[in-house]
Amino acid sequence: MAFLFFISSLLTYKRFLILWAVVGLLLSDSWVSVKSSATLTLLCAYGDYTFGVLALGGFVFSLFINRSNFRFRISLIEILMILYLLMAIFSGIINHSTGLFYRTLKTAVALGFGLSYIYAFSKKDWKYIIYGLSFFGIVNLLMSYCIFLSGVFGIETPFPVSALYGNRNIFSKYLSIISAYFLIEFLLKRDKGKKFIHGVLLIAIFLGILIQYSRSGYIEYFITSTIIVFLCGSKSIKKIALIVLPMVLALFVYFTIVRIETDKMNIKNSSDIGRIYVLKAGINMIKAHPIRGIGYGMSEIRCNEFADKSLPGLFGLTSIHNWFIAVWAEMGILGLIVFCALNYTLMHKSIKSVLKLGLFEGKQSFFVINSLLVLLIEAFVQPNSDYQDIYWIIIAIGVISLKSEKNTFQKIRTVNYG
């Protein structure tokens, strides 16, 4: 215990949060957490990073919250974040959800750390969060290249092409988010040296997304890149984009066709036919319980109960591949309203900030707009991700970009009348 307190004395709270971003991304839906190993299962708390994070961060977190004489300020977005968690707990209680404590704890830890980012970081140092995310992404990208090249030369590896990520769609989403940051910096910076570095990283990320064969990743990358280029780029950049973007789109279409031909997606698990099966089950849950839902985290457990038996199902696929439908099915109409209000409020405020400050001064909010757009596109075709840190980190960056330079926690001034 003495050693833990010694280590905690060397870490500032901000440095710990950056470290947690990397640890959280490594253990959330990664190859490490999905492998069926007794040791890894214990390490990752049954395929989840929650208890590992609590063990790592509890002693450091206490150093922060034990500070005295602070005044707390809270925004509408933070209220909606907390409401989302409360709605999850409430729906679970009234529906007697199985394993409610563990399921809500996963989300509570990820959301709680998102709030911690908001309170610890000011607008001027938001980049440190991006650096933590980018570091993990670039390391994982290098591993992805090695695995892909190994396959080309006929060398088998235990890892998928998404490297430490267990899912190509999640990794493509992550790459699209950090690509948005580097693309904005590339177009707005004047320093030629930094432009060159960002340009190299952008090419590496594009190729990394290309080899993932993720259709949702292709859509997210193409839409956000197009928006950024045509809003931030000069006239010459836009002319080049008119030539390059159709070529990029053609590459994405070709790689999608190759994947369909290779994987035989009409009969393979996790394919479109299976997604239709679970989506119909989710719609049936909403029809049966539109107001209160069936309980937080229960859609997977009760998927087959609500499934349309006339549709072909796929073994092992029980998660609803649409976040909006999943929220409504589990948490009821009020949960869906809170979820939509959270995303709409952040998007609306970020757009207003960019219109007021311009692209250069408001680039933090512009990054949030594009990152949130990536997450919402993904939300239409993938299961809910409220237990993953990346969603709440983007929400946190959005709040940070909107607040003034003053810290959320402020010391209360004392007046001496003597």
Domain ranges of the chain: 1-67
Minimum mean pLDDT range among 154-168, 255-269, 287-301: 255-269
Burial of 303-338, coded b for 16+ CB within 10 Å and e otherwise, reads beebbeeeeebbeebbbbbbbbbbbbbbbbebbbeb
Q: What CA–CA distance (Å, rounded) separates 284 from 3?
A: 54
Whether 1 has a pLDDT exceeding 50, the answer reads no
Q: What is the mean pLDDT of the chain?
A: 81
Q: How confident is the model at residue 69 (pLDDT cuts 50, 70, 90)?
A: very low
Nearest-10 crossing angle of helices 323-361, 76-94: 170
Whether 220 has a pLDDT exceeding 90, the answer reads yes
Residue 214 burial by Cβ neighbours in a 10 Å radius (0-12, 13-18, 19+)? buried
Question: What are residue 165's DSSP bridge partners?
Answer: 30
For tokens 């940051």, the residue is 181
Token pair for 381 = 């075709």
* Stronger pLDDT, 38 or 278, i.e. the higher one: 278
Contact assessment for residue 126 and residue 403, using Cβ atoms and an 8 Å cutoff? no
Question: In this prediction, what percent of the chain has a pLDDT beyond 90?
Answer: 46
Q: What CA–CA distance (Å, rounded) separates 24 from 357?
A: 33
Question: Mean of the pLDDT values across residues 334-354?
Answer: 96
Q: Would you report the helix, strand and coil content of the chain in percent, each value rounded to 5? A: 70, 0, 25
Q: Which of 57-71, 183-197, 305-319 is modeled with the greatest confidence?
A: 183-197
Q: What CA–CA distance (Å, rounded) separates 276 from 85?
A: 28
Whether 282 has a pLDDT exceeding 80, the answer reads yes
Q: How confident is the model at residue 291 (pLDDT cuts 50, 70, 90)?
A: very high
Contact assessment for residue 140 and residue 161, using Cβ atoms and an 8 Å cutoff? no
Provide the 10 A C-beta neighbour count for residue 272: 14
Q: What's the pLDDT score for residue 405?
A: 44
Q: How confident is the model at residue 397 (pLDDT cuts 50, 70, 90)?
A: very high
203-to-41, 98, 125 alpha-carbon distances in Å:
36, 46, 26
Q: What CA–CA distance (Å, rounded) separates 281 from 300?
A: 10
For residue range 244-254, list pLDDT tens digits in order: 999 999 999 99
Whether 30 has a pLDDT exceeding 70, the answer reads no
Q: What's the pLDDT score for residue 252?
A: 95
Whether 271 has a pLDDT exceeding 70, the answer reads no
Question: Which has the closest alpha carbon to 88: 391, 375, 334?
Answer: 334
Q: What's the pLDDT score for residue 25?
A: 63
* Stronger pLDDT, 352 or 309, i.e. the higher one: 352
